[in-house]
Structure 1
Amino acid sequence: MFDGKRSRRDCLLPIAVALIVAMVGAFGWAAASATAKPAADVTSQTTAVLTVGKVETGVEGTAYKYMDMKWDDQVGQPVDPVRVFAPGAVDWVRKYFPSYIGTDDEPTADFINLSAEGTRDFADRLLAAIQAGTVRLPSTESDFSNFIPTSADDDAIIFKLAMGGYVIKLGNGSKRVYQPIMTFVKPQWDEGAEGYRLEVKDVDGGASNEARAKSKVIESTKTVHGKLKTHGQIGEDLLYQIKTPIPHYPTHATNQRFGVQDSPGPGLSIRQDSVRVKIEGDADLPTSAYSVTEIPADATHSAGIKVEFSSNQYREKLAMAGKIGKSLIVEYTGSLNDKAPIKDGTSNSAWPLLPKSIYDSEGGEYTSPPPPAAVTTVYTYGIRATKVMKGNGNILLSGATFELYKQSSGKSKSSKKKDARDATAVKVKQAAGTTGADASGKYIVHPEGTSAIISGKDGTVQIDGLGAGTYELKEVRAPNGYTLPANPITTITIRDDNRNDGSDGKPAEPDGKPDTTSMVNGGPATLDASDNRITFKIENRRADFKLPETGAMGAAVFAVIGMALVAISSVLVIIRRRARRSS
């Protein structure tokens, strides 16, 4: 009996093992069957990720689906015809591009084989129709940046797109105008996986999940007197030029505005009536071709200017120039005012004005200024003399009156006659916070000021707002009790030119600090680095009208002798008269 049970167990064991093996095999087959198919079956709602690179940080985009892919979710297969124009686009395509659409709304060979130029034209006109409301298509907004950009110009945006054909509208960046992008998301049979996967096909026909945005950099450059940095005196005319590439907008873009803005620091005044505008290489445009508006001053800027072209003005005057790569030239005259500092200089910035979207209605916001904008800087300088008594520099003299002249030739002519010098009088006003009674001796150049400069209570004669060049400070009245110097003119030469020898390809430009070659009366000048002024002293002798007292006793003796002789002469005359009477 026991042996019988053992015999039955021996028979069941191989059967159990066989069943287990069969179950494992079946499980493995099922697992293998599962992995042979895509991990997630493609459906009409499955999305692929499209990365659009080479865009500026902050650029946003919208993808409009103009073509559908016919797909049967029940069997997981495409249905013929696979591609058809989306219902919202069918009538528009039949009206404007009849050769592109077939009887079943499928794209024809004419559309499939479009050239790059033909593709851009189709995308341009389609986006304009969407903006006009004549075509209504489902849209997908751009998502997030999927990698850390290497620069503000090298960011990326992504789209999650279901199968279909898309035209993508990108907003403009701070300094780039982006062209439309066309792309397809289509099902592609994967032999290895024995299933479909989604493939993104870019506008050039290649299969990829990335597309590079096509754009043109629109970035202003600026000069003052042909340089990025120069120097000038308050009130002198300064010629500014802004050069900006003209954007090439797609032909049917609905918002083709364009402009240039200039924002000056507090020390610069712009003459709005001096603005001139032209296309590179051409004559000045008529003022009717653009508008110039003033940007109000604020706490940190003087009044600026904005030169703008409307869409119609752009099409009439700039469209062709932009297509062939020309630039817009804006020139104007400005001058430093009494807020110009003598340290760090007076800067102003310019940048292009681009609409945020070229397919929105005209108007709306411009993009923000590019960092950095085109910047120019103008430096101005100061001098500080101290009026002292000759022989005792501790005695400070107030009340001396001076006049300042700037030599146009840069060569001193020491004649005392103003008319004989090749020089122009420099007018000044007292610095802020001082009055005539205060007599601080601090002045700033002012074209409508006075010519009189009076030393202050501490002997100070300070004049700010000077440009580089040669000046003559002429003393016209000495302090009370003192004499005018034999040569009342102090010659000051301010130089700030050759901070760069040009060997590195950069221009020789000033740095705002007087060079060591600056001079006072032909000798090296002293620069006070703390306030960036050239300093020196001017001496006066005390007036003294006493005659020499040496030999005073001798003079008294001669006086006594003289009086004695007069007395003797008088006695002799009297005696002689009496003698005549007696005879």
Structure 2
Amino acid sequence: MKTMKSTMARLFALCLTVAMVLSMATMGAFAAPVASEPTGTITINSAASDNDAEVDLYKIIKVNMVNVGTEEKPVFQPQDPVYIWVDAVATWLETNANATYKGYINASNNAITDSFKKATAAQLSKFFHDMKAAIEPGEDEKVELELTAAKSITISGTAQEITGMEMGQYLVIAEKSAYVYSPATVTLAPVWDEGSKAWVLNDASVTVKGKGGIEKTVTGGDLQYAVGDTVNYRLDVVIPTYPEGATEPAFNVGDKMGVGLTWSGSVTVYWSEDGIMNTVEKGEGDNVTVVPDPEYRVDASNYALATPEDDPELAEDEITFEVRFDYKNLIKNCSGAKYVHVVYTAILNEDAFTTDSLGNDAYLGVNTDPYDDNSYETTDTHEQVYTYGINVTKVDANNHATTLAGAEFTLKNADGTEVQFVETGDGVYVKYAAANYKPGDNITPVTTLEVAPNGTLQLKGLDIGTYTLTETKAPGGYQLPASPVTTITLTDSEPNGKLDDGTTASGSMLVDKVSADGNVISFKLGNTKPGFELPTTGGMGTVLFTAGGLVIMACGAALVLVTLKKKKKAED
């Protein structure tokens, strides 16, 4: 009996030990609640070209954490309002002249508001740009927003970890000579983890990306054009920073346009402090337009405009133009300028439909060593606009392999105006634009479009939109359809120069399928031959009827004679 009890005791002790071990392991599987305000790690991601950029992180929003435990065993949890502007930012917002920014703060507790949470990307971009400008010293060396960077680093590598960062949102400002950086934000905030049943702090990352000091924009928001249209370009360029005694402070900006673009021959330059071109409204009522503010125009005495005609080296490199700034005069005469904005235009010409004809590369050229003229380097930026075309093949409606020559068409745009073209080959037409020709060029625009001997018709240099293609003359030996109109819609919603699913063609003449390949829609239009013949005078039709009538008459006469003879015999 004692042996039995002893065995049971040992088993009980073993089970108790296993239970304790399991309970300890289970407790260790869950993260403990936040026992103190934790810190986290922020990773700065960048490209190799961003090496040596200086990065400052400014804490602008703090997380409201409260102790719900005891002083001996504190447990911190977030409390409403969770996100609160730091004191310096709160003061800047409350005293800001911008009413929108004032709406981003609850004046009673400095908390962020729904207006800030619901702000659009464009609004936030401007807000953080303005905050960045407020942090940086002005011309009088004063700052609007007195913030001290929580952390500052110099980029070396494509991913750098910054440890020991307090919870909150940080404004990330990067700077590097001849590079443009937009301010970014990164947030370290507690999140509830269902697995551990606790508030935990995850690490965060942010990417800083330099734009190489230059960014190119097609203003107006449209990248789709027809031949003859004017494209408005703007280059936003950071002014390089050279030391006062620099002997070689090179600062050049240029553009290399594709063969499908004709430069207008002039540029206008403006300056700004924050990289956003200053504008004013011009006109009244419905005619109000936004134009560059003339107060910020850079006088032409601060730069020289060079072209291939002036400099053979530009011709060798196929450069369209180059703006060569007098760096010292620019800095002196445009006090406070940190950016220049080069504005110019180009027109789509008759070569706009050739491969890569509408791309163009702008560049910024600086000396990386301000004392060495041989240290000149350029940074490029690319921009692309697009144009479109229509390809038609005329075929026999009953035999699609048989192509037909001799057909003629006209093309009208959405408002019913006939589009004018210039014929550049058999059945090949490019949209006409007077601006692309000189008075002595002897060019005559046409609206009648004749297919090539092989039955093809190519219309080039069109914008997106709806067109009507009308056949006005049928191929020889074929009839003109009762409804000779084909409606064509060209769409490119990206835009990326590729016609999308919204591109269609409809009409009674269509045969086979409609296809869109790149920037061209292609389809076949069929014609039929007349399907009937009319009888002619003296033809076989009349002879047959006449002969038949004579036979019937002869039979009738014979029948009468036979009847009379029988009657006479009967009387005899």
Q: Shorter-chain TM-score: what band?
A: 0.3 to 0.5
Structure with bigger gyration radius? 1
TM-score by length of 2: 0.47
